[in-house]
Amino acid sequence: MGVFDSGLGGLSVLREMRCLLPSEDMLYFGDSGYCPYGGRPPEFILGRSATVTGYLVERGAKIIVVACNTATSVCIPELRARFDVPIVAMVPAVKPAAAATRSGKIGVLATPLTVTGESLAALIREHARDTEVHPVPAPGLVELVEAGLLSGPQVEDALRPLLCPLLERGVDTVVLGCTHYPFLRNAMTALSGPNLAIIDSGAAVARRTRHVLAEQGLLHTGDVPGRLELFTSGEITHVGAVASRLLGEPVTATHIAV
């Protein structure tokens, strides 16, 4: 299976997939050399996503998981048109959040591109019609996770202006619409207190991936644990160290110049 993101955020999805699909071999491509995608032109994001997908398919990936909300909202139809393998995309957890909120008010934290994109607007129209939805662009959080900064004063200073206004408005449920953000969940809870529900879609995407693999007869089961290979366009020592921290196990990164 091939999984990619603009950087290391997609590891929050990969760790869910490794729990659910432990015998699948996984190739992860973190495009950290070009991260963040969030402020870039759509053509650039499509270009990188197609290049990375092409590389993973060439390496034998039987399915691609786009573990990046920004790439999903910009270029999923184009990727599906260009490649023959099944492509699984991210969907921000707006539907479960709308079902869970007691105050009727939810927040959606995402990159600026995802917040202004048509996919999020469509999701809100479809699943959260009767809910007050506050989409919040959160520039800067991706960079913190890429740097391996998950807690401390710098993280709190970045999160406070995003979360406090939501809490003041009575939001009780926040959707993490970027795959980097689950790694900041503890820091968010430390600021908000335990009454704010924070929902991401990693586990749902893992279930969807298993479903697609099973449906297409591609599911691999067995007792032998699958291998994980980590590729990056970024700097391997740094990427390897941060990835090991995020996954809680040692991983080595290989540089790929595509």
Q: Tell the smallest beta-carbon distance from residue 5 to ligand DGL (Å).
A: 5
Residue 11 in the binding site for ligand DGL (CB under 6 A)? no
The token pair that represents 30 in the structure block:
């973190």
Binding residue for ligand DGL, selected from 2, 3, 4, 9, defined by CB under 6 A: 9
Residue 29 in the binding site for ligand DGL (CB under 6 A)? no
Question: Closer CB to ligand DGL, residue 38 or residue 107?
Answer: 38
Residue 35 in the binding site for ligand DGL (CB under 6 A)? yes
Question: Cβ distance 203 to 15 under 8 Å?
Answer: no
Residue 182 in the binding site for ligand DGL (CB under 6 A)? no
Question: Closer CB to ligand DGL, residue 18 or residue 180?
Answer: 180
Residue 38 in the binding site for ligand DGL (CB under 6 A)? yes
**Strands (E) located in the chain:** 2-5, 26-30, 64-66, 87-88, 105-110, 132-137, 173-176, 197-199, 228-232, 253-255
For 51, 81, 140, 213, the CA distances from 112, given in Å and listed in that order, are 23, 26, 10, 32
CA distance 202 to 204: 6
Q: Determine the Cα angle at 180 with ends 179 and 186, to 5°.
A: 110
* Prior bond of 36 cis (ω within 30°): yes
Residue 36 in the binding site for ligand DGL (CB under 6 A)? yes
Q: CB neighbours of 104 closer than 8 A, spacing ≥ 6?
A: 130, 131, 132
Q: Is 232 exposed, middle or buried (0-12, 13-18, 19+ CB in 10 A)?
A: buried
Q: Tell the smallest beta-carbon distance from residue 99 to ligand DGL (Å).
A: 22
Question: Closer CB to ligand DGL, residue 127 or residue 180?
Answer: 180
Of all residues in this chain, which one has the CB nearest to ligand DGL in the complex?
Answer: 38
Task: Compute how many other C-beta atoms are within 10 angstroms of the C-beta atom of residue 157.
Answer: 10
Residues within window 149-178 making contact with ligand DGL, judged by CB under 6 A? 178
Residue 192 in the binding site for ligand DGL (CB under 6 A)? no
Question: Closer CB to ligand DGL, residue 49 or residue 69?
Answer: 69
Binding residue for ligand DGL, selected from 6, 49, 101, 201, defined by CB under 6 A: 6
Question: Closer CB to ligand DGL, residue 118 or residue 223?
Answer: 118
Binding residue for ligand DGL, selected from 21, 68, 75, 162, defined by CB under 6 A: 68
Say which DSSP state 183 is in.
G
Residue 69 in the binding site for ligand DGL (CB under 6 A)? yes
Residue 111 in the binding site for ligand DGL (CB under 6 A)? yes
**Footprint on this chain of ligand DGL (rule: CB under 6 A):** 5-7, 9, 35-38, 68-70, 111, 114, 142, 178-180
